[in-house]
Structure 1
Amino acid sequence: MKRLLGATILTGLLSPFAAMADGHSMTFALVPKAMNNPFFDLARDGCYKAQEEVDGLTCEYIGPGEHTELEQIQIVQDLITKGVDGIAVAPSNAPAMAKALKGAADAGIPVITWDSDLLPEDKDLRTMFVGTNNGDIGVNLAKLAMARHPDGGTVCLQTGGAAAANHNERLKGARDTLAGMDMGTPPGKALSGEGGWTEISACPLITNDDGNVAVQGMSDILAANPDLTLFLSTGAFTMWFDNAYRQAAEPYKERMDAGELTIVVADTLDMQLEQTKDGLANGLVGQRPFEMGYKAMYILKDIVDGKTVEDPQYTGLDVCDNSNIDTCVN
């Protein structure tokens, strides 16, 4: 689907767009969910790369220091008041962010989403989405698990924010694939025997993208459920803190080696690749955050230049297991 900013948004707001069309300076904001997240650091690097390539373009990388939904909303509101030339935001709380973005529409500031999108009913508030097909992350994580456990078993799912659309889409992708059927709207219904899989009662675990909460949650679940078949996490937060993750996973390496337990996690950050090479995880499905930040700047420029842009634009996935871990990242 191709989208172009409509005349209704541009009416009476031609001056900033005209300046950009004339090649004058422009500032585009790249707003992550949190700035203490190594995943988003890569998107920042992509944003700065685009800044180096485009004369007059400034990448303003700004977000909450930690994953704080209200702070992210306040930052976006401040950017609108400041009058930046475009905003690319990864919404932590999709419904709440939509309310804030109405101000951008009123101000004639183009908005795109990246990494995480708005809910379907609010997508008219942004021009397009660039990032991962989030449902496919869950699909591929589930396929990695099913290859090791064709008869199913017990599963604990771990996710980010409860209101984060991207993580809910990943949960649905995983649940649909494990179940072999549609489990409803994101995040999908909990598995209770479909496809041979049953979710344990303590899960899904909500982490709010906090690495300490994530690794502690995994550790507690594995200790309390010694016969668990699958631990599936929709975000890299589970593995961010290398020493903590290794201490949590090491006691279960023998079960993983024997094919009794599987740990699969989203993303392919450097520490995750090393942990998986060492047999402390069994599968990763990696995104390409550098490309998200890089493309976001060019897409915003195309929008303010009056060009059509494709919606959505997916940046692809890298699917890794223990057998291809040295070569799986594109």
Structure 2
Amino acid sequence: MRALTLGVATAALLVMSAGAQAQGKKYTFALVPKNMNNPFFDQARDGCKKAEKESSGSIECLYIGPGEHGGGDEQVQVVNDLIAKKVDGIAVSPSNSAAMARALEGAKKAGIPVLTWDSDLLEKDKALRTAYVGTYNYDIGVNLAKLAMPLKPQGGTICIQSGGAAASNHNERMQGIRDTLSGAKSAAAPGTRLAGQNGWREIDGCPLYTDDDFPRAVQQMEDILGKNPQLDAFIPTGGFPQFIPQAYRRVAEKHKARIDNGSLALIVADTLPVQMDLMKAGLSRGQVGQRPFEMGYKTMLFLKDMKDGKAPPKDPTYTGLDVCTPQNAATCIGGSGS
């Protein structure tokens, strides 16, 4: 399937190249998500396509990434292929930050401008991209924790569910959760494990890592809540279990009484429409959302500015957060959208 996807992308690149020669200056910019068929990244794709539509033919948005359950190695191969095809710019959300840095050394040698979005490179590798465009990921964790704290003023047991151990954005979010709950700033992501600080303790077997496998995320949630019926807080750093809404609903409804009375602080990252519907149905106590549409849109415009000799974007360029609760659900979503 990946070979087919990349083959289609190669054909598309050749057609775009021919179009560029016929029309004059036309740029092919690649928007590379961590994986395809993901409702979060689909919104970034829509923003990318909006920029393309508004560009009067000067931008071609090439949305390409690993398959639905693709990992860091597959994403690196996608980027290597894009470099070989000499696209005009790359905006990538690294799944494995260290591995992606090695690939982006090739982009730097080829003179291809690179932006990161949603997830960044490690600090030591940031010279390989011009800027990061997206969420201040640490603040997602801070706000997830702040939604849990009023429900559990004395602290309690917690399980954090993350995307991947090598994903810098999720590690930064975990650090934000841990630092906020503990009341002490840790030296680096993913932060200091909670072992009683301010009354908070991470249970054995956590954090959980989904590797962006949504059925696995739901199964992990079901298992951990089933084995720990008195768990005080369950906080995913991304919308993983909610991206299969019927399965999530089936699990969460088993614990709805505890969600309703606040004995289970179920707080989830992201605020896609399906997630907001779940919160409004009483199946979470809060959602902290990003603005992926804006990430996809802005990265295309920034890459064009850079190719046109204009100033690069500020590094980092943050796209903002939406902090939603059942009380403010009608008004909490801001920023750009489709």
Alignment-derived partner of residue 25 in structure 1: 26
Which residue matches 2:62?
A: 60
**Which residue type is aligned with residue 198 of structure 2?**
G
Please list, as runs of the form range in 1=range in 2, the aligned pairs for 1:65-84 lying within 5 A after superposition. Answer: 65-66=67-68, 67-84=70-87
Pairing 1:216-255 to 2, within 5 Å after superposition: 216-255=219-258
Structure 2 counterpart of 1:207, which letter? Answer: T
- Specify which structure has the bigger relative contact order, considering alpha-carbon pairs within 8 angstroms and separated by 6 or more residues: 1
The yes-or-no answer on 1:324 pairing with 2:328 is: yes
Q: 1:36: which partner in 2?
A: 37
**How far 1:259 sits from its partner (Å)?**
1.3
Measure the CA separation in 1 of the matches of 2:25 and 2:151: 56
Match of 1:159 among 158, 162, 184: 162
C-alpha displacement of 1:322: 1.9
Number of equivalences: 312
CA contact (8 A) 2:179 2:192 kept: no
Aligned residue in 2 for 1:95: 98
Counterparts of 2:221 and 2:182, CA distance in 1: 23
Taking the aligned partners of 1:98 and 1:261, their CA distance within structure 2 comes to 39
* The one of 253, 257, 261 aligned to 1:258: 261
Is the partner of 1:112 in helix, strand or coil?
A: strand
Which structure 1 residue ranges, 5 or more long, are not aligned? 1-15
* Residues 3-62 of structure 1 deviation map (CA, whole Å, 9 limit, x = unaligned): xxxxxxxxxxxxx9xx99x96011000000011110000000000000011132100000
SS of the aligned residue for 1:148 comes to coil
Equivalent residue number for residue 9 of structure 1? none
How far off its partner does 1:271 sit?
1.2
- Structure 2: distance between partners of 1:156 and 1:315: 28
TM-score (norm 2): 0.90
Could you tell me whether the CA contact under 8 Å between 2:96 and 2:166 is conserved in 1?
Answer: yes
Could you tell me how far 1:177 is from its partner in structure 2?
A: 0.3
Q: Shift of residue 284 of structure 1?
A: 0.3
1:218-264 deviation per Cα after TM superposition (whole angstroms, max 9, x unaligned): 11000000110000000011201111001110011101111111111
Measure how far apart 1:306 and its partner are.
2.0
Deviates most, 223-232 or 67-76 = 67-76
Matched residues in 2 for 1:102 and 1:115: separation? Answer: 20
User: Partners of 1:23 and 1:139 in 2: how far apart?
Assistant: 47
Query: What does residue 86 of structure 1 align with?
Result: 89
Paired residue for 2:284, among 281, 285, 288? Answer: 281
Q: Secondary structure at the match of 2:150?
A: helix
3-state SS of paired residue (2:234): strand
The offset of 1:321, in angstroms, is 1.2
8 A contact 2:49–2:61 mirrored in 1: yes
2:317 maps to 313
Any gaps of 5 or more consecutive residues in structure 2? 1-16
TM-score, normalisation: structure 1: 0.92
Aligned position for 1:107: 110
Q: Which residue of 1 aligns with 2:52?
A: 51
